[in-house]
Structures are given as C-alpha cells and as structure tokens.
Structure 1
C-alpha cells in the first residue's frame, strides 16, 4: 500500500521562517497546520545544515506551552494513525523538493513508562519508528534509533554518498538538541 492510498488530513502550508544568519546551522522552520476530526494540529519541520529536518508536532492549542510535545491528545487509534500519515506526507513532500533531505525526531516516554531496572519502554517511539520504517524505505534511507535518547534519524542515502561523514556531522549538529531532549523534550 502506498502513502497516497492511506487516509490523511488536508494540510495547510503556513510559512517558512528563515534564519537571519545564512551561515548558522539553523536554516529555517517550515510550519504546517491541519485539522484532525475537529482537533487542530501544528507540525513544524526545522531545517538545519546538512539537509536535516527535525519534525515536531502538537495540538495547536498547546503550541505556546513548554510541555506542548508531552501532552497526549487522546484521539483514538484511527485519528492518531491519520495524524502520523499526515506528518509523513509532509516529510515526503519536503523530500520531493529537497532530494537530499534527511529527517530526525524525538519521542519522550510517558511518565509511567520507566521500568524497574532503569530501562525505558517508549511506546511513542515504537509507534513513530514503525511509521518511519513504512514511509521512508530502506533503499533510499538509513534508519537509526536510540531508545535511551528517544531519538530517531532517517538518513538520506543519496546525501550520505555525497557526504561520507553525514551521520557524524548530523549527530554532532543535533547533539545540543539531543541534550535538551533529555530535559525539556524538543520534539513530539
């Protein structure tokens, strides 16, 4: 089944907010909005050097709160699936515009997912990981997951061929973001 055959929500492109410093590692943020059965979502793809885009999404009503990415929208599995398909569709449209695009996201575990031995069970990351594997095929992308950090990198193989140190450069670039993830959760 292709992405086009899966139900998703119509997306409204809002804006691109570009960095004032063209030499900075942060390039722009691409903002999208969509309605999911009466619930308004905001999805952003932060664009960084090395053609990497960091996906974040939340309920629009929570978009100005510090814990916007920690709040769950108890919407049920069919709506949640369509929300994730919609975010994947946006990512693939970015890839069509920038064939070197790679993607990154984080998923913080829920408070009740800390296990006894200090191991973390992260249902959100497991679900996102499934969708990433489904939509971003392994012929064009390499997938890396860190359960400890709740992070996931979808590395574009074409870019990796052009830039053999791509993984290290992207990881180094996002390292400050990964450190923030452990405290304030930078992504959904």
Structure 2
C-alpha cells in the first residue's frame, strides 16, 4: 500500500513553530521536519522525548578517566618508574597532582570522540550516504513539515495547513 504525505513549506521559524503546535493540537501526525538550522523549542513542540546523549557522554568521560588512571599508573609507576625532579615514583597517590592534566585531557578526548561516533551512528550518518532531503530549499532558507495523510482528507488538511501560514503544499505518494 502506498503511503501519502503532505509537504508543507514555511519561510519563518516562528511561523513553523506555531504551525507545529496547531497541527499537533488538531491531532495530525507529523512524520518529519526539515530545517536549515536548529529551531529552539521544536523538539518540545513536536512532542519528542529528551535525548540520552548526555548520559552517554558522561559514561564516555568516565571511561576516559579510568583509561587515563590505568595508563598513567602502568607507565609511570609500574613499568618504568623514573625520578623526575625529585618526585617519588613508587606511589600513584603521591604523583597524582602531576597526572591531573593528562587525566583531564584523556577524559575530554574520550568523551568528545566517542560522542561524535555515537551521534553519527544514532543519526545514521554514514560516510558516502546520499542526502534524504526532500526539498533543496530546506538547506537554504525554507522549512518543510512532512505530515502523514493516510487516514485524513487531503483537501481539508491542505486548507488547514494554508491557514497555519504554509507557503506551498505538495502531496507526495511513496
């Protein structure tokens, strides 16, 4: 069965935000929204649940912290202890102030790099992936709202969308 969607084009982000609220209040199903830049409050207006990327970032930071401590302990205390500037080399605790910058840098390194990898995997942005943008104008200055119309009257929905401030409406059959 072919699915039908309506693409409603808007020219202003505030107008789009108001339209999203009106469309959700009218109980229409918004499939996707394409914008040229992030619109503050759009995720809440669409009713999307909050992301767990911050939790993942904290866990990645903890992994970096643990790797840094284990690495510094092994390299500077167990494997090749050296007397540098008269500092004792037989205890990690006694040398820990000297290790703080390295621990900090590895914590940030692990959190940042693993977050980028997680974001790309979660967003399904693979290398050489073709763009899924339905209208090229959404990369420049227009906003597109994609609404599922499988159980709705197309004419009624189109009229409703024009009343919300849509500049252009297209019916797309997949």
Instruction: Tell me the TM-score normalised to structure 1 length.
Output: 0.25
Task: Tell which has more relative contact order, 1 or 2 (C-alpha 8 A, sep 6+).
Answer: 2
Larger Rg: 2
Larger strand percent? 1
What TM-score, normalized by structure 2, do the two folds share? 0.26
Which of the two has greater helix per residue? 2
